[in-house]
Amino acid sequence: MTTDADVSLEAGFDATIARSERIEPRDWMPEDYRRTLVRQIAQHAHSEIIGMQPEGNWITRAPSLRRKAILLAKVQDEAGHGLYLYSATETLGVSRAELTDLLLAGKQKYSSIFNYPTLTYADVGTIGWLVDGAAICNQVPLCRTSYGPYGRAMIRICKEESFHQRQGYELLMTMMRGTDEQRAMVQESVDRFWWPALMMFGPPDADSPNTAQSMAWGIKRNSNDELRQRFVDMSVPQAEALGVTLPDPELRWNEERGHHDFGEPDWEEFMAVVKGNGPCNRQRIEHRRRAHEEGAWVREAATAFAAKQRAETERAEVAR
């Protein structure tokens, strides 16, 4: 039943969105808006957490102490980004424990890019350049998203992503100045990651049924295809400066459009990975589950210690 009060609440919400003001946690919001945000922010948080694995794979084998320190800092950032985003999701009335359970049960998703393996050390550089580069394209407009806590988390994240992208590009530049073998390693890595990076923006607009509503609510600011185009246009001169070839025979500048034309990603592959059949889906979730279970005793010990401290404080106060 819709009452007059509901109508006025909804009108208030719509007016806030229309003024491009932010919705804050204690404001009334339509249930679908809340649900869409929980799904999107949780998926984003899970991506950061799962995203630690592909690069974490190389920490112990980084070629120098400098590279190891950089990689450690980067992977720690990903954990931090996950926490900023879980924190934003919790303002919508879900708990982090719930979200973790949903991830482990496969009921919430994370970005499909993290289901690809990191086969060589060059992949650390390519992920920084292309994967974090694509993430930046996606995330910069989200700093202005209509939900306040999400936008504020994105601002923090974007500041840090810039370090991620630059360290990756610098790593690749260093390898390109090395031996023929190292240059071949960079090219091979770029060949593997280019198309999955393009898929990070999601399906084509025509097949993205939620986009229109998300844009009307100001949650998303640009469509998938717009952001994909922006990413291609940004990446082409970066690839030239690096001296690598992007693996797309249809890629060329279109004077008339003022943009690069490019080929179609393999959307069947995309759907297969999203549905759980990518190269590393099972491994990623299995690893996450193991880490969560093996960390249980640490959480329990901290809880027990806190309870003991509290009891001692109370005893001391009684004695006084």
Partner 1 sequence: MSARASGASPMSTEWPLYEVFVRGKRGLNHVHVGSLHAADDEMAVRHARDVYTRRNEGVSIWVVKAADITASSPDEKDPLFAPAGDKVYRHPTFYTIPDDVPHM
Per CB under 8 A, residues contacting partner 1 are: 26-28, 73, 76-77, 80, 83-84, 87-88, 90-91, 95-98, 101, 149, 152-153, 156, 160, 292-293, 296, 299-300, 302-303, 305-307, 309-310
Phi, psi of 160, deg, nearest 5: -85, -30
In angstroms, give the least distance from the CB of 106 to partner 1. Answer: 14
Residues 123 and 131: their CA atoms lie apart, in Å, by 10
Residues 55 and 305: their CA atoms lie apart, in Å, by 34
- Taking CA 118 as the corner, what is the angle to CA 127 and CA 193, rounded to the nearest 5 degrees? 50
Phi, psi of 62, deg, nearest 5: -60, 145
Choice between 9 and 239, CB closer to partner 1: 9
In angstroms, give the least distance from the CB of 116 to partner 1. Answer: 27
Phi, psi of 252, deg, nearest 5: -160, 155
In angstroms, give the least distance from the CB of 286 to partner 1. Answer: 14
In angstroms, give the least distance from the CB of 305 to partner 1. Answer: 7
Choice between 212 and 302, CB closer to partner 1: 302
Choice between 49 and 172, CB closer to partner 1: 49
Choice between 38 and 199, CB closer to partner 1: 38
In angstroms, give the least distance from the CB of 296 to partner 1. Answer: 4
Residues 39 and 36: their CA atoms lie apart, in Å, by 5
Say if CB 122 and CB 185 are below 8 A apart. Answer: yes
Choice between 160 and 261, CB closer to partner 1: 160
- Taking CA 78 as the corner, what is the angle to CA 74 and CA 84, rounded to the nearest 5 degrees? 135
